[in-house]
Amino acid sequence: MKSVFDTLAAMGHEQVLLCADEPAGYRAIIAIHSTALGPALGGTRLLGYASDEDALVDALRLSRGMTYKNALAGMDVGGGKAVVLRSGAEPLDRERLFRAHGRFIERLGGRFITGEDVGTTPADMELIRRETRHVKGLAGEGGDPSPWTARGVLRAIQAGARHRWGSDELAGRTVALQGCGSVGGRLAAELHRLGARLLVADVDPDRARHVAAELGATVVPPDAIASVQADIFAPCALGGVLDDRAVQALRAEIVAGAANNQLLEPRHGDALAARGVLYVPDVVANAGGVLSGGADLFGWTRAEVHRRVQAIYDTVLRVLEMAASDGVSPQLAAERLAEARLRERAAAG
Ligand code: NAI
């Protein structure tokens, strides 16, 4: 088995903290993958894990993903992630928990800036803020990132269409959309506006029905949406949807959506390529949300955020062209492009 340090070295992490404040019921891992482009930016998730090792692996994987996402989005920030372990003990004393977390973040002196993630809320961020200013996404601040994420995913779909079919035109194309939530619902509206035909699914039937009624979409059962006959499959619900079974059953020519970590394992990226399916890596496609944070972090205007979200199109094309010319999966090409940007920056001092 690899040692912890070998794993860190292989994944390229700078620093990983194991944090504990037992009286507060607080145990957490803060993983700082890279500060080469700026302070490590990444959410804090609150989750129960089967083991501490699972939590560590999650923190390591997610923080590296943040470095890549930020670098590919052209953001001058690095990548990090915090995982607060949820024990079985209920109820949680959220104030003690998140204030303890805030104190650990404060001790990092700005090397790590956090925000909301799975299992945490703007109210939790307010609690962290009582101990440190290195937190974003407080209630009433920054706004909802989902419209920006949806717009970025649309641009990613258009770039995928251009690469695959030689045209951005989506009129008459059929899109199978998984998940009609904050991002999926908005993406559906944008696709409808451009004349695409929509097949939609959601485990919450009301959400799917709502989109169908509003946009004239067809509702598909959730377990069938990944394998329906469509031109494009847009996963906007959960991670890990592209597993062995889904990859084999896919009938779409392009996969591009908002969900994080769509590939269950890296090999599924190769399996998609082997089946001739064009995969637009989520790390590029869903960057609209992080880009919208530039308003808070760097004072970008709305127009500046818009310009950068639109440019997701160019980054996707570049990644897909690299993948084709290097003979690798788009996911690997995206990682290579991110690493090249990090090296460029390191060389520039
Ligand atoms: P959301 O929670 O508003 O929507 C997710 C929807 O998917 C819900 O309506 C849920 O009922 C549905 N769903 C869950 N499991 C499903 C299944 N098996 N089949 C069909 N539908 C299912 O979440 P949101 O904000 O729209 O995000 C969607 C995805 O995009 C998530 O994976 C999220 O991590 C990712 N993402 C979101 C960003 C944002 O700005 N909101 C930014 C970057 C990534």
CA-nearest of 101, 76, 93 to 348 is: 76
Tally of CB atoms within 10 A around 299: 8
Query: Cβ(287) to ligand 1 under 6 A?
Result: no
User: Which band of pLDDT confidence, cut at 50, 70 and 90, is reported for residue 118?
Assistant: confident
The encoded tokens of residue 168 equal: 């951005």
**16 has which bridge partners?**
31
pLDDT at 140 over 70: no
Quick one: pLDDT at residue 108?
Answer: 98
Phi/psi for 90 (5° steps) reads: -125, 160
User: Ligand 1 atom 33: the closest Cα is on which residue?
Assistant: 259
- Look at residues 157, 222, 220 and name the one whose alpha carbon lies nearest to residue 192: 157
Ligand 1 centroid–CA 182 distance in Å is: 7
pLDDT band at 141 (very low <50, low <70, confident <90, very high): low
Overall average pLDDT of the 290-312 stretch: 94
The mean pLDDT of 203-221, rounded to a whole number, is: 97
Ligand 1: centre distance to CA 152 (Å): 15
Residue nearest to atom 25 of ligand 1 (CA): 182
In this structure, the residue with its CA closest to atom 9 of ligand 1 is 181
For residues 83 and 31, what is the distance between their CA atoms, to the nearest angstrom? Answer: 8
Region of poorest pLDDT, from 4-13, 101-110, 161-170, 250-259: 4-13
Lowest mean pLDDT among 42-56, 79-93, 189-203, 251-265: 79-93
Give strand ranges (E) for 22-140: 26-34, 40-41, 44-47, 78-85, 112-113
With a cut of 60, say whether residue 120 has pLDDT above it. yes
pLDDT in the model for residue 15: 95
Question: CA 54 to CA 59: how far, in whole Å?
Answer: 9
Q: How far is the CA of 88 from the centre of ligand 1 (A)?
A: 25
Q: pLDDT band for 195, please (50, 70, 90 cuts).
A: very high
pTM: 0.92
Mean pLDDT of 122-143: 86
Phi/psi of residue 70, nearest 5 degrees: -65, -40
Confidence of residue 229 (pLDDT cuts 50, 70, 90): very high
pLDDT of residue 91: 75
- Mean pLDDT, rounded, of the chain: 94
CA distance 190 to 281: 20
Residues marked as catalytic: 81
Residue 137's pLDDT band (cuts 50, 70, 90): confident
Residue 181's pLDDT is 95
Q: Is 182 in the pocket of ligand 1 (CB under 6 A)?
A: yes
